[in-house]
Amino acid sequence: MSEREPDCEQAQAKPPGDESPWTQPPPCPDEIISRRDLVGSVLFTSGTLLAGTVVLAALGRTQQQGAGDYKAILPISQLPDEGDAYYFYYPRPQDEAVLIHLPGRGLIAYSRRCPHLGCTILYEAQHRRLLCPCHMGVFDPSTGIPVSGPPERRLPRIVLQLDRGMLVATGVIL
């Protein structure tokens, strides 16, 4: 330490007779963080948070895509008429889904959970649309793509197959 620099205790000592609680002594030079160290710490923390977010998003996406078990929905003889819908649960017992018989296009199934805030989607056959009643989000029933309202992501589509006289669900496409 040079002669010109007072040590930390001397620098922080209050002058005699100064009893004011509002005055703060200057910080010790050892307690001051440099701009370079601060920027380095901020960048390291930001990078760590970004990496963690990417890992969690990737794990969530793989878990959702793998959540497709083989499950019988209904016999072919009981399929809904053209323009009608059938509601069921897939892939888990609490996950609501809808099977729609599109006029001239065949069968398609979607999750009934709105990607905006998780409200339950309804199929309105008279308007040929899937509607989220919470914020009036509208989805195209042939693609699951949002047409109007706040939702920005498509509805998860359920993969269908015919197997020995039964319509079965085999997976979910996000």
| pLDDT attached to residue 37 | 84
Query: What pLDDT, in 10s, does the model give residues 107-165?
Result: 999 999 999 899 999 999 999 999 999 999 999 999 999 999 999 999 999 999 999 99
Coil, strand or helix at 23: coil
Which pair of structure tokens corresponds to residue 95?
């996950």
Sequence ranges of the domains in the chain: 18-65, 71-173
pLDDT the model gives residue 145 = 95
Token digits for 103?
């006029």
pTM of the prediction?
A: 0.63
Q: Please list, in sequence order, all residues whose beta carbon lies within 8 angstroms of the beta carbon of residue 171, skipping any fewer than 6 positions away.
A: 65, 68, 158, 159
Q: How many CA atoms lie within 13 A of 154 on its CB side?
A: 14
What pLDDT is stored for residue 25 in this prediction? 65
The pLDDT, as a whole number, for residue 32 is 75
Segment among 51-55, 65-69, 74-78, 87-91 with least mean pLDDT: 65-69
| Burial of 12: CB neighbours in 10 Å, binned 0-12, 13-18, 19+ | middle
Compute the residue count for the chain: 174
The confidence score (pLDDT) of residue 10 equals: 59
Confidence band, pLDDT 50/70/90 cuts, at residue 1: very low
- Tell me the per-residue pLDDT of 17-46, one tens digit each, with 9 for 90 and over: 666 666 666 666 666 778 888 888 899 999
Q: In what order do the strands lie in the sheet with 71-75?
A: 71-75, 166-173, 157-163, 106-111, 96-102, 85-89
Judge: domain 71-173, CATH 2.102.10.10: yes
